[in-house]
Structure 1
Amino acid sequence: MQPDHPDELWNEAAGHALLGAALPSEPIITFEEDGGGLRRVEFGSGTWGIAWVDGGRAVTYGFDLDYSTARRRLPPVDLLAGAPGWFPWDYVHAAQKEIQLVSWVHWWDGETWARAEYPGDMDGVPDSGGEESFEGYADGSEDPDAARDAYDDLMAAVAARAVDTAVIEALYAPLEEALQPPDLTAPVAEVLDLARRLGVTPGASRPELAAGTGEPAVRRVHIMDLEQVEGAIAKAMRNSFELDRPAPSADPDEVAAWVRANLGETSIEVAYTGTDRPGHNYKLGIGWGKMADAELSALLDAWREREADPERGRWTHARVAVTADGFTADRAYDHLPVWWDGFRVHLTGLRAEMASRASRWRPSWTGLLDQDLAHEGVPLELTWRPGERFQSLAG
């Protein structure tokens, strides 16, 4: 899905910015200046922004609250991957920080739109709020037909870069008497000044951001949901490996017996969570909120502690496969094994486990547990890349 031509996006944003500035008390979907571009005022369902960049280029970004497809993707997605050197990095980074939920970013090179590759069904483009803005304006008018004419004339003047005093004054004529300013001089002058800044009056220039000078040497990717911190750390764990450990010292006989008696011949995968709730220290598989039975949890605790070493620590993930002839057991101490299929990890349990070990038995990704990734963002290597698997937690 491609955005409309940037001229169309800018004209829509600028026209509604002028309408909102003319009637600030009316329920109009409007736009505000945001440091070089225009951004729709968020009213509960989403927002988008657009800015021109030196050289006839442009960038647009935004999200739709109901269809924010980048949310709850694990690992987090780098929306700026592959952006060209002229891309306005600081401007878009600031928008991501302020808005938090930016789910798509597109850049226009003067001829075509492009964006990073996204996983699955991720996508998004600016949505038109034109009719809603008109309805908010027309609700305060005595003559809807006259309001339509004034609105259409405004949008046509914006497209032609021909906004003038008469176009703005005409916006007030259809309004109910209570909504008309006693003196139009000041409000019209204020709106006309905004029109000049937006480049839609005769002879005025549109605002332009300076072109970027290349991708920042050190760049982190914005986090939208706390689960994405787990996803980033999970990617680091998947890229890690097991340290050179002695063979396990105990078999999970009681665990296998419980599985055979209660679940039959099957395989269970569990992750240590570190919860304070007695008997619920383990998550069963990657199903959302699926905790191990309290009795099973106690057996897992006993097995895990029997194998514990004061320096090397304990396993974080385990798998027990029960067959007619017996069982097999796998443990993971230092990485996320291939048989753990998702990208959710339990940070409380991981922090407690790593803190209990001697430093030489802490894998390389341990330092991530102490970083404020939700605020600082995650390193590029911990984000999703084309061809990699991902997990979507979107409902």
Structure 2
Amino acid sequence: MLTEHPEELWNEAAAHALLGAALPDQAIITFEEDGGGLRRREFGCGSWGVAWVEGGRAVTFGYDLDHSIARHQLPPVDLLAGAPDWFPWDYVHAAQEEMHLVSWVYWWDGRQWARAEYPGEMDGGPDSGNEWSFESYADGAEDWDAAREPYEALVAAVEARTVDAAVIEALYVPLEEDVRPADPAATVEDVLALARRLGVTPGSARPELPAGSGEPAGRRVHVLDPEQVAGSIAKAMRNASELDRPVPAGEPDEVAAWVRASLGVTSIEVAHTGTDRPGRNYKLGPEWGRTADPELSALLDAWREREADPERGRWTHARVVVTADGFTAERAYDHLPEWWPGFQPYLSGLRAEMASRAPRWRPSWAGLLDQDLAFEGVPPELAWKPGEPFESTAP
């Protein structure tokens, strides 16, 4: 959980925003206004933003490209789950869409920070860029030690809300001539105007977002990576039930015979992948992480097609348990069975299978296959919930 007061986050962001505005042509690690708050300019490893909300409240959000594992969580995590009514929903939704990789969100109620619960090792929060910003500023000076004093004076003035022209002008003193702006006086005026908007000059007020009025109807959970779409569909499949189907007339004797001869007394779990590559039409055991052998794949094809019905379709997952004196076979047509623990169903194969069935034999989740969930987001009920299983594909 965050320990910094939002004042600390705002002051850091404001100081760096002013530094960047004072040297608009330099590669300064800076923050920029973003419609009510401040957001750090992306510079290769991540970004974060902070904004005040009326009533002494605040929000902060962001991502770290090097350390975040949020985009590897299946199903996706609803970062806004449990957010209070006053939460600035539209503002944060817009930030998620623009930044795309937002992987943590916190809200401050005036006394403490809170956030949604995250699964496993997932975490995150704003990282301090103070030293990075100083170094990018000091690179333009002949003497880094000489640059330290005006930089720290700027930070102190922001904290005291006493920024004035002298504070900004002092930033140029240690810099080499070609680093300074072409028209320092005009630039200083622009910086002071920004400082007033950020509430760090005497008598100025910080910007505040209006409080929200409750969770928006039809809200969608932002998707960080296309593989998370499969994770959400997998959750829907796990929550589904099998439709009332006739019991298959035959059994996969040839599949059981191959398993006994090739693998011994054991069980195999397979998922149809929908590929047309020979020997790769089935995934053999998610924990094994490999496709079925060509010979086994051909036997599975024959079994699956033998039992196919032009209206009801074919199974998508199957399990064959071979014992010393026989075997049993299970088929899943309309749900993801518990013995297939992963969250990465083969969507291309599922789409082809659902398209081949009569509408009344398509399960409730089949419609998700035709939605652009990566763009639209997923319904909150298909995001991960505390206490539910999940899969992390993080390396």
Fold shared per TM-score above 0.5: yes
Q: What is residue 69 of structure 2 aligned with on the other side?
A: 69
Deviation at 1:25, TM superposition (A): 2.8
Report the identity percentage: 76
Q: What is residue 366 of structure 1 aligned with on the other side?
A: 366
Aligned residues: 395
Q: What is residue 200 of structure 1 aligned with on the other side?
A: 200
Q: What is residue 110 of structure 1 aligned with on the other side?
A: 110
Q: What is residue 178 of structure 1 aligned with on the other side?
A: 178
Q: What is residue 130 of structure 2 aligned with on the other side?
A: 130
Deviation at 1:184, TM superposition (A): 1.6
Task: Output aligned runs, 1:213-362, within 5 Å.
Answer: 213-287=213-287, 290-362=290-362
Q: 1:230 to 1:288 in 2, by over 3 A?
A: farther
Deviation at 1:296, TM superposition (A): 1.3
Further displaced range: 356-365 or 51-60: 356-365
| Counterpart-to-counterpart distance in 2, 1:180 and 1:216 | 47
Further displaced range: 106-115 or 372-381: 372-381
Deviation at 1:288, TM superposition (A): 7.8
Deviation at 1:3, TM superposition (A): 4.5
CA contact (8 A) 2:96 2:222 kept: yes
Deviation at 1:279, TM superposition (A): 2.5
Deviation at 1:239, TM superposition (A): 0.8
Q: What is residue 165 of structure 1 aligned with on the other side?
A: 165
Deviation at 1:285, TM superposition (A): 1.8
Q: What is residue 46 of structure 1 aligned with on the other side?
A: 46
1:294-344 CA distance string (max 9 Å, x none) = 221111111100111111110000011122222111100011111111111
Deviation at 1:287, TM superposition (A): 4.0
| Counterpart-to-counterpart distance in 2, 1:186 and 1:133 | 23
Q: What is residue 212 of structure 1 aligned with on the other side?
A: 212
| Counterpart-to-counterpart distance in 2, 1:83 and 1:181 | 44
1:48-92 CA distance string (max 9 Å, x none) = 000000011000000101111211211111100000000000000
Read off the aligned partner of 1:193 and give its amino acid letter: A
Further displaced range: 220-229 or 17-26: 17-26
Further displaced range: 106-115 or 248-257: 248-257
Q: What is residue 83 of structure 2 aligned with on the other side?
A: 83
Deviation at 1:2, TM superposition (A): 1.4
Deviation at 1:180, TM superposition (A): 2.2
1:340-372 CA distance string (max 9 Å, x none) = 111111111111111111111111111111111
Aligned residues: CA RMSD? 1.2
Deviation at 1:100, TM superposition (A): 1.0
Q: Helix, strand or coil for the counterpart of 2:389?
A: coil
Q: 1:182 to 1:366 in 2, by over 3 A?
A: closer
Deviation at 1:143, TM superposition (A): 2.1
Please, which runs of 5 or more residues in structure 1 have no aligned partner? none
In the TM superposition, structure 1's runs of 4+ consecutive aligned residues that sit over 6 Å from their partners are none
| Counterpart-to-counterpart distance in 2, 1:289 and 1:33 | 47
Further displaced range: 244-253 or 340-349: 244-253
| Counterpart-to-counterpart distance in 2, 1:139 and 1:68 | 29
CA contact (8 A) 1:104 1:123 kept: yes
Deviation at 1:182, TM superposition (A): 4.6
| Counterpart-to-counterpart distance in 1, 2:228 and 2:184 | 51
Deviation at 1:27, TM superposition (A): 2.7
Give the TM-score, by structure 1 length.
Answer: 0.98
Further displaced range: 241-250 or 202-211: 241-250
Q: Helix, strand or coil for the counterpart of 1:58?
A: strand
1:241-272 CA distance string (max 9 Å, x none) = 00111111221122122222222222111111
Q: What is residue 100 of structure 1 aligned with on the other side?
A: 100
CA contact (8 A) 1:3 1:125 kept: no
CA contact (8 A) 2:24 2:181 kept: no
| Counterpart-to-counterpart distance in 2, 1:289 and 1:191 | 57
| Counterpart-to-counterpart distance in 2, 1:180 and 1:123 | 40
Q: What is residue 7 of structure 1 aligned with on the other side?
A: 7
Q: Helix, strand or coil for the counterpart of 2:29?
A: coil
